[in-house]
Structure formats: structure tokens, C-alpha cells
Amino acid sequence: MAAIACTIRPAVPEDIPAINQIHKHYVRNTVITFILEPNTDEETLAAYHKIKNEGLPYLVAVDNTTNKVLGYTYVSSFRAKAGYRHTLELSLFCDHTQVRKGVGAQLLSRLVDVLKHPEQWEGYYQGSRLIEYRPRQLMACMAIDIDMPGAGWKLRDWYVRHGFQQTAHLKEVGRKKERWIDTVFLQLALRE
């Protein structure tokens, strides 16, 4: 199947309602996020500003025909301790009606390119953090949702196809929808 035609660009505050709408679906209907109650647009906007103020990229995929936001991705600090400043954690969500249409792959590809070559993507982030710290590792933490295709492992396999390696499997560390949920950590080296 051909990937849907979309443009990947930096998110702007006007995208927040669409971003939040995408995320609400996953909060309400899945266990892939451990957030229990959907954020308000104001809370999502505050989180967006925090990411941008840290000098990190926050991207959206926009349909070339309708200009609708089809998905989004951003990175945040992996841990609050300064020694982790070279490691980032990925968040990526696609409109649930656009899953398996190539939107996520396009978002991930652009995000990784920005992280590996920030000097080529001026305008996709602000400040000099990416240039100064040259992130070395990108982490993805995913919940194993047994109700998803492949009992939740297809998403892990998708990350592996994009160069990530599974580095940890944490058993029953989250609870949502009246069940215990495992998480898997995956890691992508951005630098040698």
C-alpha cells in the first residue's frame, strides 16, 4: 500500500486541538498510554511549550489535500537527571483512522533525521540544545496492548523494522482498564 501524501512540519500552537483529539482516542480506548484522563487543550498546549522551550522538535503530519493533522511526534528528556541529557524519549501518535497508512513511518523518519542532523533542519526546533548535546540515544517506551494486532507485539516489530532494538521488557508495571500491563523499552542509536 502506498503511503498517504502528507507534509511533515514543525507543530504550531494552532495544531494543539487536533493533536489533543488524536491523543484522546488512545487515552479513552487503549492502554498504549498510561494517562487515565484526557488532557485539556490548555494542558496539551502547556506540554507543547515545555518541549519547544527545551529546544526539542515537535512535529505534525498534515494531509496534503485536506490540511488535517494526521499524526504527531515529539521528543522529551528521557530522565530529569543531567547525566541523561544525551538521551531522549519519543512519543508518536497517529489519528486512529490513519494507522498503517505510512503516516507514523514518515513522522519517525523525519524526527530521526532532525535528531541526527539538526544543523540541516533549522526551524524544526529552537535553541541550540540539539547542536550542543548531540543526542546519542532515542528511547521508545510502549505498552503491550493485548487487544492490538499481534497481541500488542506488532508495534514493537514496527519499531524494530525502523532500526530500534528491544532493550527491556518490564512486567505488569502499568494498570489501566482493570488489568496489569507490560511495557517494552526500545532504543535507537543516533550516533556511533
The structural domains of the chain, ordered by start, are 6-135 (3.40.630.30)
The three cell numbers of residue 8 are 511533515
Q: Which residues contact 71 (CB under 8 A, 6 or more apart)?
A: 22, 60, 61, 92, 93, 94, 95, 98, 103, 104, 107
How far is 160 from 180, CA to CA, in rounded Å?
24
Instruction: Summarize pLDDT for 8-48 with one digit per residue, the tens.
Output: 999 999 999 999 999 999 999 999 899 999 999 999 999 99
Instruction: Summarize pLDDT for 135-169 with one digit per residue, the tens.
Output: 999 999 999 988 777 777 989 999 999 999 999 99
Single pTM value for the model: 0.94
pLDDT of residue 115: 96
Give mean pLDDT, residues 88-107: 94
The three cell numbers of residue 128 are 541550540
Confidence label for 132 from pLDDT (cuts 50, 70 and 90): confident
Positive/negative CA dihedral, 102, 136, 133, 117: negative
How far is 160 from 144, CA to CA, in rounded Å?
15
The distance in angstroms from the start CA to the end CA of the chain is 33
pLDDT of residue 4: 83
How far is 52 from 74, CA to CA, in rounded Å?
9
Task: Report which DSSP code applies to 80.
Answer: S
For 8, 39, 139, 158, 160, the CA distances from 104, given in Å and listed in that order, are: 10, 22, 16, 10, 14
Flag whether pLDDT at 2 surpasses 80: no
